Amino acid sequence: MRDVSWILLALLAALTSAATNLALKRALAHGGVVASTVWYRFVGGLLLGAIVLAMGARPHATPAYWRTVAEVLPPECVGVLCMVRAFREGELSEVQPIFGLLPLFVMAGGAVILREVPTPTAAFGVAVLAAGIYTVGLTAGGSILAPVRALARKSSSWYAVASTACFSITSVLHKIGIAEVGPLPWGTTLGVGSALSLAVLLPLAGRRRAGPVAVDAGRWTRLVLLAGLFFALQQVGLQLALRMQDAAYVVSISSTSVIFVSVLAVLVLGERQAAAHRIAGSVLVSAGAALIALGG
């Protein structure tokens, strides 16, 4: 019988990734980019570290591990910064579709670096899923090429492209890190390491453009803790799934987080003006995910 546990773990990563983004977006309104980004990652890393200690795991840090850490942290930090700037400065309908390119980038990187060549069925599924993610972000009455045209006039779209490129690199490097120390210790490294790195880099960037001062410290703290908790759960699902299956397949399934965000926007926030595009995109994403499951 085919083992589908990696699909369930990737879906857990998708759901908790959507929850992380929603909590972080609300936290940004109360505490600014610098503190919110650093602390939610640090909280998530500490929670993962507690799980590792509770399990009694004592991973051995090999030279290959430290080399991979040095390789993964720069694109991880740049990717997070660009992602936050993209969603903060741009329209969701113009930014979100660009992230649909991530599964395609990871599939190409996995084939070249990890020699993870997808089956024809799964490769087609990745393409269908990416098209679905692109469709979800479109607006009613707008051009299907609007996100592409935005590249010529909005920096937020280029931030999204840069973030997608960075995360496609880190997704491949995660496989190497997991092979060295295991999925949860690697997730801990990613959370704490990126938080500490960003704590050094973000204040330097903030000298040019300071973020807003916290207006509700209590609410900001609760939202950051919530984002950190969801980030830890997202890493559990993502890293465990990456240990079991090819990076392109896992990233494709976890990218269905877009669907969870869209459903919440329609049902909870009442954003029904683009419901038709979201339904069509959801159908494509579901079909792509099914093809990946069958072909992978």
Q: Which residues contact 153 (CB under 8 A, 6 or more apart)?
A: none
Angle in degrees, CA 161, 167, 169, rounded to 5: 110
List the pLDDT tens digit at each of the 296 positions of the chain: 567 899 899 999 989 988 888 888 788 777 777 788 889 999 999 999 999 999 887 888 899 999 999 999 999 999 988 887 777 776 655 566 677 677 777 888 777 777 777 788 878 888 887 777 777 666 666 667 666 666 666 777 788 888 888 998 998 899 999 999 999 999 999 999 999 998 887 666 554 544 445 567 788 899 999 999 999 999 999 999 999 988 888 888 887 777 776 666 566 555 555 566 667 776 777 777 777 767 76
| Cα dihedral sign, 165-157-89-22 | negative
Q: Is pTM beyond 0.75 here?
A: yes
| C-alpha to C-alpha distance for 280 and 234, rounded to whole angstroms | 26
Measured from the Cβ of residue 25, the count of other Cβ atoms closer than 10 Å reads 16
Q: Encoding tokens for residue 54?
A: 């509770």
